[in-house]
Structure 1
Amino acid sequence: MSAPSGGTGSAWEFDAIGTAWRIETARPLDADARSTVARIIDDFDREWSRFRSDSVVTGLAAASGVVPAPPDAADMLDAFVELDRATRGAVNPLVGDALSARGYDAAYAFVDHGVRPAPRMWREMLTWSDGRLALTQPALIDVGALGKGRLVDRVVETLESIDPDLVVDASGDLSVRGASQRIGLEHPYDRRRVIGVIEVTDAALCASATNRRAWGDGLHHVLDARTGEPVRTIAATWAVAPTAMRADAIATALFFDGGPQLAFEWDVEWVRMTTDGRVEWSPGSTAELFS
């Protein structure tokens, strides 16, 4: 996804959770606001990052058991239930071990150790209720299907009371408040090109593509949890929703057959490109697509 056209005034750029962030506001954010944003991101990372040895999910992966549920657990894992249903098990929050086995591990080794499907009965293994997050046996939670979107929402919720005109861009997960932004849909096979543009107003646009975080012989970060194999038919997806978490979730679901139906149920606008170059879009899509 290419950067939004224009800007809202002041831009703050930094790296966090392994990706580049850009926050545009009408006025520069003061030190307190920046410190608050940094704390929100670090707290989320310490709770949900499978790449940190001190995170909540890493601790559960090592020993299972019960821990206090992080604040975002219910909203995110409830959404995973719907993703699992819509994609018939292709999207699953216990896909972390499958990703690590294929090489996308905490050391970023990118060495393929073979197929390891995620547990299909994950809802019997993983529970979240009464303020507790529990695993009945060791397994690695990965919230990558929607987690970055959720974090963008948290940052937006903090900053929009300070400045109602802002853009929060976390490298593919972007939320706009106030002035509209025209966003380019980056071609997955040529970053110098876009396949179209879409105007975003008081909403989030999230994108996912198999050319990002790709390694080895056709391996990338979008796995079918049922098989442990990377998706082969869809190259890139884009989704527009009121929240970045929902847009991020649909951008993931669109790699699978049930994605368009879930997007319809959630009233999410979308575009996707297949690996053979075809472009598909939701009914009533406002995207301006180029031939």
Structure 2
Amino acid sequence: MAGARPAPAAASPAVATHAFDAIGTRWRIDTERPLDEAIVARIDDVVERFDREWSRFRVDSVVSDLADRAAIAPATVPAPRDAAAMLDLYAALSEATTGAVNPLVGDALARRGYDPASSLVDCGAEPAPARWRELLGWDGDRLRLAEPATIDVGALGKGRLVDLVGAVLAEASLSRFTVDASGDLLLRGGGAGGAVDPGERIALEHPFDPSRAIGVWTLAEGALCASAVGRRAWPGADGGGLHHVLDARTGEPVRTIAATWATAPDTMTADAAATALFFAGGERFAAAHGVEWVRMATSGRVEWSPGCGAELFT
């Protein structure tokens, strides 16, 4: 186990591994045969394109360019190809959580110290724009921002990128593979093990004790995403801990939920549900999107969805 994220409890036999760093985290791809140079190059291109379009930590990204333009006047830029898929799901997240999840939370995160320079200097709470649906527009080929704001796709963006990498592997006729992006996990073809594979046993790491797990989820096909408040945390100006899961309505970090886990057929949906479950309404979002889930409160209380397939130790 590593961090508050899903990790295979035991490595599958007879697999090839390709590991790399991207979008600020460690990735591992397990396949039934080694990846050739052409596939690796395609994966690198997909990751670079996504980062160049959506990273608020890059001055040359599409979202940074849009923010710079909108600081002067209402702005429009060419829409990245993932805009509709991600922002449509953001709209569902925002509705389910009554605005707690909001793609214009970038400036609120930066103000708390989670900025492009990774300063970790807290300048106080700042709510994200509550009228984000009025300010941010997207259609087939244009992305529009009416007032100064910064898009942050952290609620589901890494899951989307995992799905894009998985699509490259599937198009390369790799029928069995696992993509692990340090908390967002996608398995296809029953895992990357032998011909008969019951699936990977994925440890649900205790958010307060990395040496322990609160359960195991066996998954042969689909995605499992985890999020925890301790993974990206830093001291606050008032001595309290800050972390990357902010309530967009207040700019304050979540204090009641410590960790979430969610499974879905695709990683973007699982990632979105794992974020939603930090807030009231997350259960409703998960049910509407066919997601099974587990979450642990900061009090230690563990909750799970009806019919959840996880084996819990509590």
* Secondary structure of the corresponding residue to residue 29 of structure 1: coil
Aligned to 2:272: 249
1:231-281 deviation per Cα after TM superposition (whole angstroms, max 9, x unaligned): 000000000000000000000000001000111111100000000001000
Counterpart pick for 2:175 among 164, 167, 185: 164
Q: What CA distance in whole angstroms lies between the structure 1 residues aligned with 2:55 and 2:269?
A: 19
Q: Which runs of 5+ in 2 are unaligned?
A: 191-198
Using the alignment, how far apart are the partners of 1:215 and 1:83 within structure 2?
Answer: 26
Taking only aligned residues, the RMSD between alpha carbons, in angstroms, comes to 0.8
Partners of 2:6 and 2:184 within 8 A in 1: no
CA distance in 2, matches of 1:89, 1:161: 37
- Maintained 8 Å contact 1:126/1:136: yes
- Please give the alpha-carbon distance, in whole angstroms, between the structure 2 residues aligned to 1:124 and 1:2: 36
SS in 2 for 1:212: coil
* Residue 211, structure 1, aligned to residue 234, structure 2: no
Deviations 1:112-156, CA, capped at 9 Å, x for gaps: 001110000001000001410010122100000000000000000
1:114 maps to 124
Q: Distance in 2 between matches of 1:233 and 1:285?
A: 22
For 1:283 and 1:254, how far apart are their aligned partners in 2? 14
- 1:199 corresponds to which residue? 218
Q: In 2, Cα distance between the equivalents of 1:140 and 1:234?
A: 26
Contact 1:250 1:263 in 2 (8 A): yes
- Partner of 2:53, secondary structure, is helix
What residue is the counterpart of 2:95 in the other structure?
85
Give the alignment partner of residue 26 of structure 2, picking from 14, 20, 33. Answer: 20
Gaps of 5+ in 1: none
Corresponding residue for 2:194? none
Q: Please give the per-residue CA displacement for 1:88-130, whole angstroms capped at 9, x wherever unaligned.
A: 0000000000000000000000000011100000010000014
What TM-score, normalized to structure 1?
0.98
Q: Secondary structure at the match of 2:211?
A: strand
Q: Is the 8 A contact 1:63 1:137 kept in 2?
A: no
Give 3-state SS (helix, strand or coil) of 2:249's partner. Answer: coil
Are residues 84 and 2 of structure 1, via their aligned partners in 2, closer, same or farther at CA, if it must alter by over 3 Å?
Answer: closer
Kindly state the Cα deviation for residue 35 of structure 1 after the two structures are TM-superposed. 0.5
Q: Describe the superposition over 1:160-211 as per-residue Cα deviations: whole angstroms up to 9, x where unpaired.
A: 2331110000000010011221100011011111110001122000000000
After TM superposition, the runs of 4+ consecutive aligned structure 1 residues lying more than 4 A away are none
The separation in 2 between residues aligned to 1:150 and 1:90, in whole angstroms, is: 20
Equivalent residue letter for 1:82: A
3-state SS of paired residue (2:171): coil
Q: Give the whole-Å Cα distance in 2 for the aligned partners of 1:260 and 1:247.
A: 12
Kindly report which structure 2 residues correspond to 1:102-251, keeping only aligned pairs within 5 A, or say none: 102-162=112-172, 163-179=174-190, 180-216=199-235, 217-251=240-274
SS in 2 for 1:13: strand
| Higher deviation after alignment, 153-162 or 107-116 | 153-162
Percent pairwise identity: 61
Matched, 1:43 2:46: no
Matching of residue 10 in structure 1 with residue 42 in structure 2: no
Give 1:2 deviation, angstroms.
Answer: 4.3
Aligned-partner SS, 1:273 = strand
Residue 284 of structure 1: SS of its match in structure 2?
A: coil
Distance 2:135 2:268 in 1: 24
Deviates more, 1:199-208 or 1:219-228: 199-208
What whole-Å deviation, never above 9, does each CA across 1:30-75 have from its counterpart, x for those lacking one? 0100010010000000000000010000111111210110000000
Q: Distance in 2 between matches of 1:2 and 1:187?
A: 10
What is the number of equivalent residue pairs in this alignment? 291
Amino acid at match of 1:188: P
| Residue type of the alignment partner of 2:177 | L
- The match for 1:269 is 292
> Aligned letter for 2:102?
N
- For residues 161 and 70 of structure 1, the distance between their equivalents in structure 2, rounded to whole angstroms, comes to 21
Distance 2:167 2:304 in 1: 29
Which residue identity lines up with residue 174 of structure 1 in the other structure? L
Q: Does 1:101 align with 2:111?
A: yes
Q: Partner of 2:196 in structure 1?
A: none
